[in-house]
Structure 1
Amino acid sequence: MWMIRAGRGSENIEDFVRHGIVALGDKLLGAVPPTIKKEALLELYAEKYPDEKEGSRASWAGQLLRFIGEIKLGDEVVTFDRERRKYLLGKVTSEYYWDDKLIEDLPAVRRVEWTHEVSRDLLSTKTRNTLGAIQTLFKLSADAEKDLRAHAVPFGASVPAPKPVPKQKLEAEQEEQAALLAETFERADEFIEDAINALDWRQMQELVAGLLRAMGYRTTVAEGGPDRGVDIFASPDGLGLQEPRIFVEVKHRGQVMGAKEIRAFLGGRKRGDKCLYVSTGGFSKDAHYEADRADVATTLISLPALRKLVVDHYESLDAETRALVPLRRLYWPVGKK
């Protein structure tokens, strides 16, 4: 069973139903022959979208190739009607063909006989999560298929209202949602760290300086050139006449920093100075020991700690700093107490 979305937000669901089809693709490609090979399709996407990332073009090509070649006559398909909160189930009744008149923006077409529908409210949390995957086209798991079939009614029939959920089942679903939320946050943290780690050394310095400004300090970022041991200086007035005076070293995508590097950085610092050492490569145990016993207040910031600072202070960052790591707020439903 294949999930094939009816455009963003199910905007093409009426066309899917009226014409008895599923569709995707891109009219700019022109009529793509059913015998096209992967290399030729990638070249076509590169020609039409030269400014897009190679990975994006590869993803688009992969989905179109699956639609053309992997889906077979008689395969089951499912699509989502978001407005009515129901999934439509059907069977593929034609090979792939190109038709830019049915849905202009989705010219790769297969005929479908719609046979059943399923209320989203009847499905398990696990199935709803699977069906909510971001891809336009993907193959469903056996469990998701089983859940859909178990709650399917003939297409056009009245969909039964969901029955009250027993307390034990409701608690189990709430636990599953909590686990899914924790997994989502974990993945988000990892992707944010990926985005930070992809910055070059100059951008990394600007990110750290932007964080300090968001905390109320004025900053000076060192010019490029030989490393003097201090990449950023910060203080309330920006001149160092007011306390605290903060000295920052930034090491990006290098080796793990050890005690030797910490001692070198702290050399020449005075009591009352505050020191930050940022290393996206992390710190050794000895480095932490060296920082803890130093006469000068020293904080070591690894990539996970830097990611947390970015998230915690994101709303206060200036536009230039936000542009280095663009983030979007995510809202998630929470259970009522």
Structure 2
Amino acid sequence: MTMWKITSGRGSRLTKEFVENNVVAVGLDDETDFTSVTSREEMRALVAQRVPSLTEKQVIVAGSQWWRFLNELQIGDEVLVYEPDTRNYHFGEISGPARFELGLIPELPVVRSVSWRTEVPRDALETTTKNSLGAVLTLFKVPADAEMDVKRVVTGEKGSLQADDTGDLDAEADLDPFSDIEGLALERVKDRINALSWDDMQELVAALLRALGYRTSISAAGPDRGKDIIASRDGFGFERPRIVVEVKHRRGQMGSQEIRSFLGGRHADDRGLYVSTGGFTKDAHYEAERASTVTHLMSLDELAKALIEQYDQLDEDGRRLLPLTKIYWPA
């Protein structure tokens, strides 16, 4: 039995579709059926024809990955797919052969059925495992040490890692190292944010609001009646609208009850911002959408993206909590 990591589209944006449809999927585009390809060479030729912008080495790597999806993934093999919003890896088992199914997963029409078993929190994994699973390859065998770590979390066992097999990761040498540098950087930033204490998280959210031109007032520790931060243009909350902010820094999604509690007692012209590093349930989003008070639910993924976008405007307090270095490379 082998464990594989599969990326659900650029930025792992299709993970929910994978899980809801009980599949993993790959594709050259939204219409090419390559399930009848009979050799790696034929697959590479098809990749070169359908995606002419790829270099020769990228064609070799991509062709090999799609070939493996068809022929090397076996029924019973384990598979991981990452979901950025929840920071969890969905862990499942391949339960069917490759097939062409147009329209099931956008842009990825070659699928294999999966029986999803559980979720593995990224924050429960060793740093070396996080780095291994962040590789830019679309499909690869999980290195032995990372596989052991994932199974340690799945089974609840404790122990140190022993193996040092690098799996397929050496194949990355054939890829453009910057091909998904933004996605990899975003996950590292989220790791740093998630490691903050609750107090520091609250301060970081306040720093983001100040970067956006607001003045902020942070509630003292203790009962806050559903508000951790008040943001307004004048700094006192007299000038409307004011933004009332709740910050939840914990594992686990916030549900509709938490959103209702937050919205209770809000003024009609208030604006609500609810930040949850554990994300939100569908019911929570529905509750916020139908509320009379305009309310935005911000996940860790959105928070990290907003901080990166506004980083040049962050004050010293914000940069102290989240020190980042800007890099440049050819577009």
TM-score range, shorter chain: 0.3 to 0.5
Structure ID, larger Rg: 1
Structure showing greater relative contact order (alpha-carbon pairs closer than 8 Å, 6 or more residues apart) = 2
What TM-score does the superposition give when structure 1 sets the normalisation length? 0.47
